[in-house]
Amino acid sequence: MALAGSIRKQWLLKWVLFVLLWTVLGLAFAGQFYLSNSKAGDPVSWGFAVKRALADWYVFAILSLPALWVAERFPLAGTRWKSTIAIHVAASLIFSVGWMVLRAGIAYWQTRGDLYPVEFSAAFSRALVATLFFNQLIYWGVVVVRHAIDYYWKLHERQLHTAELETRLTEAKLQALQMQLNPHFLFNTLNAIASLMHKDVEAADRMIVQLSELLRYALESTESQEVPLRQELDFLDRYLRIQQARFGERLSVQRQIAPESLDVLVPNLILQPLVENAIQHGVEPYARPGLITLRALRANGELELQVQDNGAGLQNTTSSRQGVGLANTRARLQQLYGERQRLQMGNAAEGGMLVRITIPWRGGEQLAS
């Protein structure tokens, strides 16, 4: 019932707009007729001018309906354009003659009780001389407007379809990147468990349990491309518990998280590959204690995420630190935010490697200064 009511309203609105358009044209020509006659010294009443002009343009309105059908049935764009033009030329002549016949009939009907009624033949002859070509211009105007509206709607539909395809493609790419990340993470973690199995079986067993919980958590959130930072940090805690079971006191983590950033949306699993990279290059190669520092802050209206380690940092090139995880992270950021994101790698002032991600501030206290 609601759908039927909506269709009826749309249909009624179209007809109201249709009548309003031709009425406006009629009133515009009524004003021109009234003023031109006044300046020529042959004034007419405003009521007479309106009656005559509306009679002219309402006839055009009636005849525009079959003209619109012809325009739809024989579009100007196409391979058979010569025959289409010929059809429209013939239709414009029929349109013009039809207008003259109807207009002469209306003039005869309007004056039938007058002292000097207008004869149909005389009205038709005057219309033939005065409006034959003008009526054809009106026909071509109707055809052109119909084609312009069709072109606009087809272009609009193509744009919507293109946008929908781009959205689906982006989602597919993001899904593929996330599917790539999960086995990469799983392989590295299983590698860690395998190496620990020879040293501490109980610790390896605990890591397996923690890994199963972590994977369950990751699978449950696979459909979400963005999550609140609070949820991302919760996942990261689970991952770090596995790594701390592996490294023991050699690994410590420090957090500097702005409270207002906890509800800001971030890409799902964005921090884990950065932390994994920091552990692999900044902690694992050294016997000394390793420190991973996590930061989240608001900078110039954007969210800035930082992952820093206390390793040797970059030596000559970043290529040694550009593994699957970082490459995946760059690709996901590009897909999600386009030019509104940055991923920067460099040496921290106090030593070690610093990875900085900047993304739009979405969610959380967006209006906070």
Beta strand 290-299 with 251-257 is parallel
Please tell me the distance from the alpha carbon of residue 295 to that of residue 327, in angstroms, as a whole number.
Answer: 21
The string of pLDDT tens digits covering residues 61-102 is 888 899 989 888 888 776 777 888 888 889 989 988 888 888
Mean per-residue pLDDT, 2-23: 79
Mean per-residue pLDDT, 298-317: 87
Per-residue pLDDT at 229 exceeds 90: yes
Please tell me the distance from the alpha carbon of residue 101 to that of residue 124, in angstroms, as a whole number.
Answer: 6
pLDDT value of position 366:
46
Please tell me the distance from the alpha carbon of residue 235 to that of residue 194, in angstroms, as a whole number.
Answer: 22
Per-residue pLDDT at 27 exceeds 50: yes
pTM exceeds 0.75: no
C-alpha closest to that of 89 among 110, 61, 67: 67
162 versus 235: the higher-pLDDT residue is: 235
Mean per-residue pLDDT, 28-49: 83
Please tell me the distance from the alpha carbon of residue 115 to that of residue 124, in angstroms, as a whole number.
Answer: 20
Per-residue pLDDT at 324 exceeds 70: no
Residue 173's pLDDT band, with cuts at 50, 70 and 90, is low
CB 269 within 8 A of CB 235: yes
Residue 259's pLDDT band, with cuts at 50, 70 and 90, is very high
Enumerate residues 6+ apart whose C-beta is below 8 A from 61.
18, 19, 22
Per-residue pLDDT at 104 exceeds 80: yes
pLDDT value of position 254:
94
Per-residue pLDDT at 253 exceeds 50: yes
**Amino acid type, 150:** D
Residue 170's pLDDT band, with cuts at 50, 70 and 90, is low
With a pLDDT cut of 90, the percent of the chain lying above it is 18
Beta strand 302-309 with 290-299 is antiparallel
pLDDT value of position 340:
92
Residue 277's pLDDT band, with cuts at 50, 70 and 90, is confident
pLDDT value of position 176:
57
Measured distance between the N- and C-terminal CA atoms of the chain, rounded to whole angstroms: 48
DSSP for 85-133, written as a single string: HHHHHHHHHHHHHHHHHHHHHHHHHHTTTSSSPPPHHHHHHHHHHHHHH
CB 290 within 8 A of CB 310: yes
Q: Does domain 199-360 have CATH number 3.30.565.10?
A: yes
Instruction: Specify the range with the lowest mean pLDDT, choosing from 137-146, 188-197, 227-236, 316-325.
Output: 316-325
3-state helix, strand, coil in the chain (%, to 5): 65, 15, 20
Per-residue pLDDT at 195 exceeds 70: yes
- Sequence ranges of the domains in the chain: 2-161, 199-360
Mean per-residue pLDDT, 14-29: 87
Task: Provide the token pair at 122.
Answer: 């005389």
